[in-house]
Amino acid sequence: MTPVRRLSPRAIGDAAVTVLAAQREQGWPGDTITRGDCATLDDIADRSGFLALHPMHPLDRHIRVLNALERDPRFEKFLFRCVDSGGVRERLVRAFRLRKTDERNAEDSIAR
C-alpha cells in the first residue's frame, strides 16, 4: 500500500496569497476566493503542487482547495446567499478572504 501524500493547508494558503497578489497587480479588485472562481482555484491548485499530487475532477479539486483554506488561519470564512439563474433555488456559498489584523500585516501578506 502506497502512503498518501498530502499538502499542508499552509502550502495551499501560500499559493492563494501569491495568486491574489498577482491578480491585484493585474487590476482585479478584492482579496476574496469563493466557489465558482474556477480560474483562481485552478491556479492555486497548480501553484501549490496539489494538481500534480491529486489529479481529479475540477469540482472535487476546488472543494479540496476551499477546505484547505478553511484550515489556514490567514483566511477568514464567510457565507453569502446565492440564487441560481432562474431565481428559484437559494443556497449559502462559502467564501474566504485574507484575514486583516492590521493594515501593515495585510499589505505585507499581499505583497509576498
Does the pLDDT at position 39 exceed 70? yes
**Nearest-5° Cα angle at 32, 36 to 83:** 45
Q: How many separate domains does the chain show?
A: 1
pLDDT in tens, 73-96: 999 999 988 887 776 777 888 999
| Predicted local distance difference test score (pLDDT) of residue 89 | 75
Pairwise CA distance, residues 9 & 72, whole Å: 6
The mean of the pLDDT values for the chain is 81
pLDDT-based confidence at residue 31 (cuts at 50, 70, 90)? confident
Does the pLDDT at position 103 exceed 50? no
Q: What is the CATH number of the domain that holds 90?
A: 1.10.10
| Predicted local distance difference test score (pLDDT) of residue 104 | 43
| Predicted local distance difference test score (pLDDT) of residue 101 | 59
Inside any domain, residue 2: no
* Domain ranges, residue 107: 9-111
Inside any domain, residue 13: yes
Inside any domain, residue 29: yes
Nearest to 75 by CA among 28, 23, 13: 13
Report the chain's C-alpha Rg in angstroms.
15
Inside any domain, residue 83: yes
| Predicted local distance difference test score (pLDDT) of residue 44 | 92
Cell digits of residue 37: 472562481
Its sign, for the CA torsion 3, 11, 68, 27, is negative
Inside any domain, residue 75: yes
Inside any domain, residue 38: yes
